[in-house]
Amino acid sequence: MNKKIISLIISIAAVTTLFPQSKVGTTAANFLTIPVGPRATAMGGAFSAVANDATTSFWNPSGLSRMSRSEFTAITAEWLVGTRLNWIGLAFKFDDDNAVGVSINQLDYGEEEITTPEQPNGTGQKWSADDLAVSLSYSRNLTDRFSIGGTVKYITQKVWNQTASAFALDIGLLFYTELEGLKLGANISNFGTEMKLDGKDLKRPIDIDPPNSGNNPNISGSLDTDSWPLPLVFTVGLAYDINFLEQWNFTLTGDAVIPNNQSTHTNVGIEVGWNKMLFLRGGYYGLFRDKNDLLYSSQSADGLTAGIGVQYDFSDFFAKFDYSYSNLGIFNEISRFSLSVGL
């Protein structure tokens, strides 16, 4: 068994050297790759094999059925250049082997005043943009060690009066190995239809015969935009729980991430828990990333991450608060906050 584990780790490390070409800017709905949850992001975004809280609907839906209790989580973060990322999710346990999850993922660009060359101070109107994904997940334990899960998503993007929509599917696997504490996770996300913008902003008057002065120069026409694929991401991860002290728990984790819109990279993280109440976390996002990728779909710089969590168990439920910090280079720091309640 140990030889198999070593071989798997070597294979995961080797695959991160593949696909060196830059693929930035080749997909739509890149908000789908923004990491969700302060706990996961504090651990460098290496979470596919941890997968044991409500955000597992995002990272690896197969982990829903491995949760000990149902849980509701609300997350918010001020994202890049004045945008705000919001995520809410509910993971509900039917029984010991079945669970469902419902989540809403939104990137809000806010509003700006419309200006024109004739009215540089503003027209009195405002434009806005918004990205939204509504997801439904299901997970089942097939054996005492192996789980499978899937998520279906409806995705929309809106820019003023233009909209685009798509459907997508995530499929995840989670395996508890014979080595106590070691888990393997795999997930493929955003396998779906392409997105194409349409709306009244693309309507234009067209003169189909400019040399003929007697024809109608204002025939209604519409600009035809290209279709773009979704950001397909394949992730393979390891997580190892260590419990050698009575009140302390250590989790080491690593993910190999292979996206279709940027270079392959690796995320690593650690979580240290005391008495299941206080948690300290750290990690590194984007190891081995191609430095020619100037704009990343999930984060805008590689680097260290950190965070903290506090959880308290009441008689009938628990409540927890999580915080994470990421430094995104020229985009400064990003702080994420979440509040969770479990039954």
Relative to beta strand 198-199, strand 248-259 is unpaired
Q: What is the pLDDT of residue 330?
A: 64
pTM listed for this prediction = 0.85
Task: Say what the pLDDT of residue 6 is.
Answer: 41
Mean pLDDT of the chain: 86
Residue-level pLDDT at 329: 64
Q: Which positions ≥6 away from 183 have C-beta within 8 Å?
A: 49, 50, 174, 175, 176, 177, 238, 239, 240, 241
The answer, yes or no, to whether residue 14 has pLDDT greater than 90, is no
Helix, strand, or coil (residue 329): helix
Task: Give CA torsion, residues 87, 90, 91, 95, to 10 deg.
Answer: 180
- Mean pLDDT (whole number) for 217-233: 83
Query: Are residues 166 and 54 in contact, defined by beta-carbon separation less than 8 angstroms?
Result: no
Question: pLDDT tens digits for 112-160?
Answer: 888 888 888 888 888 889 999 999 999 999 999 999 999 999 999 998 8
pLDDT (tens digit, 9 = 90+) per residue, 149-203?
A: 999 999 999 988 899 999 999 999 999 999 999 999 999 999 999 999 888 777 7
For the domain made up of 2-46+69-115+127-194+229-342, give the CATH fold.
Porin (2.40.160)
Q: What is the mean pLDDT of residues 205-224?
A: 71
What average pLDDT does this structure show over 252-265? Answer: 91
What pLDDT does 243 receive? 85
Which residue, 152, 144, 164, 142, is CA-closest to 101? 152
Residue 216, pLDDT score: 67
- In tens, the pLDDT along 58-93 reads 999 999 999 999 999 999 998 887 889 999 999 999
106-110, 181-185, 194-198, 204-208: segment of lowest average pLDDT: 204-208
Tell me the domain boundaries of the chain: 2-46+69-115+127-194+229-342
Q: How far apart are the C-alpha atoms of 326 and 179, rounded to whole Å?
A: 33
Indicate if the pLDDT at residue 297 is higher than 50.
Answer: no
